[in-house]
Structure formats: structure tokens, C-alpha cells
Amino acid sequence: MTSVSAHDYAWIRTSPLFRHMTESGYTLTLIRGRTPREVLDAMAAEPCGTGEGTAGLIEANHAHEVDDYWDESYVAGAFGVRGENGDWTLVLGFDSGLGIAEPCAERLSRGGRVVAHSTNGGKPIDLFHWFEDGELRTAFESPQWREGATPDALVPLLRDVGFPLTFEGVHDDGAPDVDRKAGVLALAERLTGVRVTESLLVNASYELGLVPD
């Protein structure tokens, strides 16, 4: 397991790509032990070619939005990446922060793990979800209010990456605050071993799929 903390993700605040992600609304999901095609199939996504880098993904999604302005379908991009305990698939979608559907995430996590975080754009709602072996283990918008089958299991990691929580998992008013989104990205890396960088996202070759409304 890496020792990454929120400080390692300070780059998001000067990143044009991450600014676009937060303004548009996005979901970034990491799935262990599944190929990009398997993941897109599980999301009922219609294959629509490939996209080179986030520029290709954004272009494909923008073209779809122009054609189908009123529905909530979107183009997701997936690619393979190495992480803890094997191969993972990273899926990025500019989906207004809808997030991967819980039943789909549960299925994809059977025998493995799914970690997702999202932002809805505008006045942001930032969500985090961790699924393990078919079960939602922990989810939160703000880390002091957690739900799921094991809502307190991540408290040590949350503290480690910089969230001001006590050992009991409540907010520590005396501790310095942390960039919550940077902290969530660090938490996702702790759970997956995948370091998400601007270069990783910008330079990947994405398998594209149109996720239905």
C-alpha cells in the first residue's frame, strides 16, 4: 500500500483538465480484475470506437451532447492500468456526476474491488464509493458522515491521507483542514495502488462507450 496523502494531489488545483472535470461533472471509477470491454459491457455501453487522450474523450462526448441534448446518456472512456494486486480498469465519464450505478458497481466488484469518486459540477456534491466483493462497504459525501456495510473501516486511511478525523471517526475541530477532493484521490490510490496523474489521463488511449440514459 502506498503512503500517498492529499498533498500528493495538489496538482488538481492548477490543472486545466481537472477544472474541466469539476465544471462539467465527472465520475472516475477504478475496477480491479476486469478489462475495459468487460466494464463498458457491464455499464450497457454501446461501443463507439476509441479516443486518443482526454481530448478524444471530450470531443466524442461533446458531439453526443450536441445530438442528444436532453437525455442523460454520455460517452465514457476506459483503459487498463496496473495497480495493487493486478490489473485495473480506469473509467472516466463526463456524466454530470451521476456516478456508476450501484447495482453495476456491485456486480463488477464481485471477487474484486471498485472505487469511484465523482463531482456534479456547479455547486459541487463530491461523492466517494468503495465496493468490495459485491457489497458497498463505505460511501460518503463528507467523510465524517459515512454509510455502507462497514462505514468506519476507512477511518485510519482517511486520517492518514489528511482528513481531520478523530480515532472514532468524528470531525476534529482542532485539526487543520484538508483539500477534500485531493484527499479523496489520495484515498482512492490507497485502495487501488493506482496513481492518477494529469499525464495518465491526458495521454491514455480510451475505449469509448455510449452509456444509456
Query: Where are the chain's structural domains?
Result: 6-211
Percent of the chain with pLDDT over 70: 97
Q: Per-residue pLDDT for 135 more than 70? A: yes
Whole-prediction pTM: 0.94
Q: Mean pLDDT across the stretch 83-108?
A: 91
- The average confidence (pLDDT) of the chain is 92
Task: Name the grid cell of 87.
Answer: 490489473
Give 41-90 pLDDT, tens digit per residue.
999 999 999 999 999 999 998 888 766 556 778 999 999 999 998 899 99
What CA–CA distance (Å, rounded) separates 22 from 14?
A: 12
What CA–CA distance (Å, rounded) separates 174 from 136?
A: 31
What is the DSSP secondary-structure string of 64-106? HHHH-TTS--EEEEEEEEEETTEEEEEEEE-STT--S-HHHHH
**Residue 28 pLDDT:** 97
More confident residue, 177 or 183: 183
Task: Name the grid cell of 57.
Answer: 474523450
What CA–CA distance (Å, rounded) separates 208 from 38?
A: 12
Give 24-55 pLDDT, tens digit per residue.
899 999 999 999 999 999 999 999 999 999 99
**Residue 126 identity (one-letter amino acid):** D
Cβ distance 109 to 132 under 8 Å? yes
Q: Per-residue pLDDT for 164 more than 60? A: yes
Q: Per-residue pLDDT for 2 more than 80? A: no
- 175 pLDDT tier (thresholds 50, 70, 90): confident
